Amino acid sequence: MTDPITLAIVSTAVTTGGQVLGAVQGAAAGRAQAKVARQQADSERRAATVEERQERERGRRFRSRQLAKFAKAGVATAGTPSLVLSVTAEQQERDALAVRFGGAVRERRARSQAALAKQRGKQALVSGIIGAGGTLLGSGAFKRKGK
């Protein structure tokens, strides 16, 4: 038959070890999630850059078609046609900047998620270690003999 003291020591060691292992795994999971979120942020930034460039190119092509239609119709580009081209260019610039802003917002959100995941991992580590310490203390492993 197993000695009750030995059984209590083994039980405490297994419980404490499990808590420490869980803490380390929680921290590793937090770091992994943070890495994925940072990669997502980088992807969002690159995608927004490409999308902004495409938006500007669509704007240039549209203005070129406007100018060609004015020319085909024999309309001089001074006066109202010039104003139309100018207003179109301004609106297209706002559209391109809106794309940039949207990408920046998505990037910031992903970076915030990365920071949060990293923090959760740290909290898991600290919580697990505190839990393991509590288990050790609660088990009586540090009680003095005779008290």
Q: Is the pTM for the entire model greater than 0.85?
A: no
- List C-alpha distances in Å: 25 to 34, 110, 113: 14, 22, 19
Q: What integer pLDDT is reported at residue 145 of this predicted model? A: 58
Torsions phi, psi for 52 (to 5 deg): -65, -45
Q: Which residues of the chain have pLDDT under 70?
A: 1, 140-147
Q: What integer pLDDT is reported at residue 3 of this predicted model? A: 82
Residue-range domain boundaries for the chain: 4-139
Q: What integer pLDDT is reported at residue 82 of this predicted model? A: 87
For the stretch 72-81, pLDDT in tens is 988 887 888 8
Task: State how far the Cα of 102 lies from the Cα of 111, in Å rounded to an integer.
Answer: 14
